[in-house]
Amino acid sequence: MSAAAKNLTPVTLELGGKNPCIVHHDAKLDIAVNQIVSSKFINASQTCVAPDYVIAHKSIKEEFLSKLKNRIINVYGEDASTSPDFARIVNDSHFQRITGLIDQKKVMVGGQSDTESWFISPTVMRDVTLADKVMSDEIFGSVLSVLDYGNLSDVYTVIDQLSPPP
């Protein structure tokens, strides 16, 4: 940046990370689900503003997950590999890294992939913990993790544990 500043060259910073979505017990679930699906899965989630995970309040988690699954199917179809609106992963190493993050035992929708076309379906994993591999780094791919919480202090704890030190 200092070299750019000396020459008055514009700089764009890509500020990704472990972007959370918090769905509280009084959320309008249809709106939340529509916005999460559209912001997460556009360009197969290869955007720096895509959410990496959702923290949903325990009281609405099951309803949220059901609506999330239905919305993904409504937008991309039962088989997202045939959807003209769902992108592919940019290269093989990125494809391998993302598929390595998917725990099939926790997948509630999606989880399919194709090595030949670098396709990874819109995937949602439920009951994810901070110890899961998918929570260790920015995903930058079509995998959405869902955790739950009971009170807001739990949310702060999760975000603090996933945030890099200043």
Active site residues: 14, 48
Which tokens hold the place of 82?
């045939």
The Cα diameter of the chain in Å comes to 54
Q: What angle do CA 148, 23, 99 make, to 5 degrees?
A: 60
C-alpha separations of 157 from 35, 36, 108, 160, 165 in Å: 24, 22, 25, 5, 14
Query: Would you call 141 helix, strand, or coil by DSSP?
Result: coil
3-state secondary structure of 32: helix
